[in-house]
Amino acid sequence: MTRGNQREQDRLKAQKKAASQAKGPKESGASLAKRKEADADAVRAKAAAKAAARAAAEASGGGTGKK
């Protein structure tokens, strides 16, 4: 069984898709580092807020309800 030109069409489609994904501005090292630092700050702030909420719950005699 032959596939006709299906293989060729699929190859062209894959090349076109790869070319479109390769386009676009690359993130520079400085902006990448800045974004990573901002993300880390957000995670630290979230962890601090969760710890504060946990401390407040324990101080009020409650608990998280988890065992």
Measure the CA–CA gap between 29 and 35, rounded to whole angstroms. Answer: 10
Measure the CA–CA gap between 54 and 21, rounded to whole angstroms. Answer: 44
Give φ, ψ of 13 to 5 degrees: -65, -45
Every domain of the chain and the residues it spans: 29-60
Provide block-wise average pLDDT over 10 residues at a time, the chain (67 residues): 81 91 76 93 97 93 63
In single-letter form, the type of residue at position 1 comes to: M
**Nearest one of 8, 21, 53 to 62, comparing CA atoms:** 53
Percent of the chain with pLDDT over 90: 52
Q: Whole-prediction pTM value?
A: 0.49
